[in-house]
């Protein structure tokens, strides 16, 4: 690693794979001049623009909110758009970038997220409204909103799903991303689908398949806690009928005060 004032040269080792020409993935080194503010995505742009236009990767917002640029950097999943390259260089000034693990590689750093989205749709991530909808708004307490905060900040980057050891061995597993979303809907007092949701996730393809390895927490760039959500869902799946009754009771109180009655 050469260091010239605030600039230095980093060696970016990238896993390359072109299904049309390569039998298996291989690593290629690129030298990039960086400053302390250069992000890993900036370095990838530099390589693609000036060194090898065939380098393929996903990116969009560059503000760590779209989730497109999740990759495996030095063995850890992260969004490469908001992490400075300098923080991830080893003593030799080298950083290793690979596609997300446990997902099929389409080309270079782009993975096939089909199973990720299929499992996401499986839990019906949208809100299923109550039959009686209030005219103006639902009234939810700050405590209830706080309980949902863990799940609401998920940006669907796939870092947790592709870090999960169980996903790596069993593609029928719903996965931490979808279970976190299901947790969001199941705890949401406005949602009417608690029974079907708990029936869907309370199986050996859902919360009971999780082996509590915690990779999802370690991989999440937003520092969310899917494992805690899964543990909560396990408890609710076991006590499903009691939870359904409690939720129905709660739903009466969020509707009644603002319902328009004839």
Partner 1 sequence: MYKTTGFISFLLRRVTGVALVLYLFAHIWVLGSAVDGPETFDARLNVVQSPFFKIAEIALLAAVLYHGFDGMRLLIVNYFKVTDARKSLFYAVFALSVILVIAGGIPILLFMFEGLGG
CA distance 39 to 259: 52
Question: Counting contacts by CB under 8 A, is residue 169 touching partner 1?
Answer: no
Query: Of 13-21, 226-234, 239-247, 251-259, which segment contacts partner 1 by CB under 8 A?
Result: 226-234
Question: Counting contacts by CB under 8 A, is residue 4 touching partner 1?
Answer: no
Task: Output 102 or 138, the one with its CB closest to partner 1.
Answer: 102
CA distance 69 to 26: 20
> Which residues does 209 contact at the CB level (< 8 Å), separation at least 6?
166, 170, 173, 174, 203
Which position among 101, 115, 182, 251 is part of the footprint of partner 1 (CB under 8 A)?
101
Question: Counting contacts by CB under 8 A, is residue 228 touching partner 1?
Answer: yes
Strands 26-34 and 94-98 come out as unpaired
Cβ atoms of residues 79 and 70 within 8 Å: yes
At closest approach, how far in Å is the CB of 156 from partner 1?
Answer: 18
Cβ atoms of residues 64 and 82 within 8 Å: yes
Question: Counting contacts by CB under 8 A, is residue 24 touching partner 1?
Answer: no
Which position among 2, 165, 252, 253 is part of the footprint of partner 1 (CB under 8 A)?
165
> Which residues does 20 contact at the CB level (< 8 Å), separation at least 6?
none
Which position among 146, 212, 260, 262 is part of the footprint of partner 1 (CB under 8 A)?
212
At closest approach, how far in Å is the CB of 216 from partner 1?
Answer: 9
At closest approach, how far in Å is the CB of 107 from partner 1?
Answer: 21
| Interface map 40-79 toward partner 1 (x if CB under 8 A) | --------------------------------x--x-x--
- Nearest Cα neighbor of 190 from 139, 147, 233 is 139
At closest approach, how far in Å is the CB of 37 from partner 1?
Answer: 29
At closest approach, how far in Å is the CB of 146 from partner 1?
Answer: 15
Which position among 168, 203, 222, 244 is part of the footprint of partner 1 (CB under 8 A)?
168
At closest approach, how far in Å is the CB of 195 from partner 1?
Answer: 23
Question: Counting contacts by CB under 8 A, is residue 231 touching partner 1?
Answer: yes
Task: Output 10 or 219, the one with its CB closest to partner 1.
Answer: 219
Instruction: Report residue 94 as tokens.
Output: 């080298």
- Nearest Cα neighbor of 193 from 152, 148, 247, 149 is 247
Cβ atoms of residues 99 and 71 within 8 Å: yes
Question: 50 has which bridge partners?
Answer: none
CA distance 107 to 105: 6
Strands 110-111 and 105-107 come out as antiparallel
Return residues touching partner 1 (CB under 8 A): 72, 75, 77, 101-102, 162-165, 168, 211-215, 217-219, 225, 227-228, 231-232, 234
């Amino acid at each position: 690693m050469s260091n010239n004032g605030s600039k230095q040269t980093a060696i970016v080792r990238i896993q390359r794979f072109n299904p049309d020409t390569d039998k298996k993935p291989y690593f290629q080194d690129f030298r990039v001049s960086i400053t302390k503010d250069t992000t890993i995505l900036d370095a990838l742009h530099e390589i693609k623009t000036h060194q090898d236009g065939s380098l393929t990767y996903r990116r969009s917002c560059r503000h760590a909110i779209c989730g497109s640029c999740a990759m495996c950097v030095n063995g850890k999943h992260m969004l490469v758009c908001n992490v400075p390259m300098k923080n991830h260089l080893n003593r030799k000034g080298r950083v290793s970038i690979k596609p997300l693990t446990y997902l099929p590689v389409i080309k270079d750093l782009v993975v096939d997220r089909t199973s990720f989205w299929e499992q996401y749709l499986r839990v019906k991530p949208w809100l299923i409204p109550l039959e009686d909808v209030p005219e103006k708004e639902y009234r939810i307490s700050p405590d209830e909103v706080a309980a949902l905060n863990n799940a609401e900040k998920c940006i669907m980057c796939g870092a947790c799903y592709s870090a999960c050891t169980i996903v790596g061995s069993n593609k029928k597993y719903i996965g931490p991303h979808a279970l976190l979303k299901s947790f969001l809907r199941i705890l949401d007092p406005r949602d009417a689908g608690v029974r079907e949701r708990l029936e869907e996730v309370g199986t050996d393809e859902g919360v009971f398949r999780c082996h509590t390895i915690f990779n999802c927490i370690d991989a999440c760039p937003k520092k969310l806690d899917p494992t805690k959500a899964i543990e909560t869902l396990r408890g609710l799946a076991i006590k499903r009928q009691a939870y359904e009754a409690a939720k129905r009771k709660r739903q009466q109180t969020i509707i009644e005060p603002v319902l328009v009655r004839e």
